Amino acid sequence: MANDKRFLDNRKYGHDDLAPIGCNDCLGCDSCCHGMGDTIVQDPYDMWLFCKNMRVSGGAQVTFELLISEDGPWELSYQDGVVLPNIKMVEDGRCPFLNDKRCSIHPIRSGLCRLFPLGRAFLDDKIDYYVMGGRYGCERHSDDAHMVSIKEWLGYPDIDRYEKFQISWHEIKTNIREASSEISYEEYKKLQEKLLDNFYKIPYKDNFFDDYERRVSRWKM
Ligand code: SF4
Ligand code: SF4
């Protein structure tokens, strides 16, 4: 990899590697839960994990429609040419799930929250991880980081299947981006609606990965 100032070092890591990312449980710092704008994009796995574990008052299941409603914690935004949901920051720029300087949904926080301060690059059949540095990373990680396995840091019970899902999801989004310059605006809008219908609006079954793979097999642009 070329020397890139976004990275703490010039290494790429696999999920079994140890990386200098341990930050002693953040020790009262909550700076990466502020001022994130629309960047905490929520993928279908994030939605499944959230909906499976949260209930609205009265016990009803959380749905995509509720999440993106006016009072919900998500909103839709353009993310590099694809309309996707992201966590909607509250008025002072803080994440709505930040409570008393701690993440109130820590065990079910989304993939991008888990990833920080790692970046990732998608290859055909694998993901390379990088440690972000400087203003892209976490100062505490750079100054006082201890080594942690990336698999442990991300905390997913089945990292192989999770990465397989991420690679597939990345490919679907890339295909939409690439197609967008070749189709009419009306066709693009329909494609976007189809993406949200197929991968977000219908609640996922208990086994996320099986359900996701079924949806991919039905997906045609
Ligand atoms: S900036 Fe670093 S130490 Fe602070 S909350 Fe984020 S990850 Fe934790
Ligand atoms: S979901 Fe949790 S970890 Fe992610 S930005 Fe919000 S408070 Fe921080």
**Would the CB of 112 count as within 6 Å of ligand 1?**
no
* Annotated domain spans of the chain: 18-216
pLDDT at 27: 80
CA 27/CA 117 separation, integer angstroms = 16
Q: Which atom of ligand 2 is nearest to the CA of 30?
A: 8
Percent of the chain at pLDDT > 90 equals 77
Q: What is the mean pLDDT of residues 10-33?
A: 90
CA 112/CA 28 separation, integer angstroms = 20
Lowest mean pLDDT among 39-53, 136-150, 167-181: 136-150
pLDDT at 2: 47
Candidate from 8, 21, 25, 29 with most ligand 1 atoms within 8 A of CB, to mutate: 29
Q: What is the mean pLDDT of residues 97-114?
A: 96
Its pTM stands at 0.94
Q: What is the mean pLDDT of residues 65-77?
A: 97
Residue with more model confidence, 57 or 8: 57
**Cα–Cα distances in angstroms (integers) from residue 72 to residues 42, 90, 173, 197, in the given order:** 14, 11, 24, 18
**Would the CB of 98 count as within 6 Å of ligand 1?**
no
Q: What is the mean pLDDT of residues 201-210?
A: 96
Whose CA is closest to atom 4 on ligand 1? 29
Residue with more model confidence, 142 or 74: 74
Average pLDDT, the chain: 92
Candidate from 112, 141, 142, 144 with most ligand 1 atoms within 8 A of CB, to mutate: 141
**Cβ neighbours around 174 below 10 Å, total:** 14
Check whether 72 has a pLDDT greater than 80.
yes
CA of 182 to the centre of ligand 2 (A): 37
Q: What is the mean pLDDT of residues 210-215?
A: 98
CA of 82 to the centre of ligand 2 (A): 23
**Cβ neighbours around 123 below 10 Å, total:** 9
Tokens 């990833």: give the residue: 115
Query: What DSSP assignment string belongs to 87-116?
Result: E---TTSB-TTEETTEETTGGG--HHHHHT
Dihedral (CA of 161, 44, 168, 78) sign: negative
Q: What is the mean pLDDT of residues 75-83?
A: 95
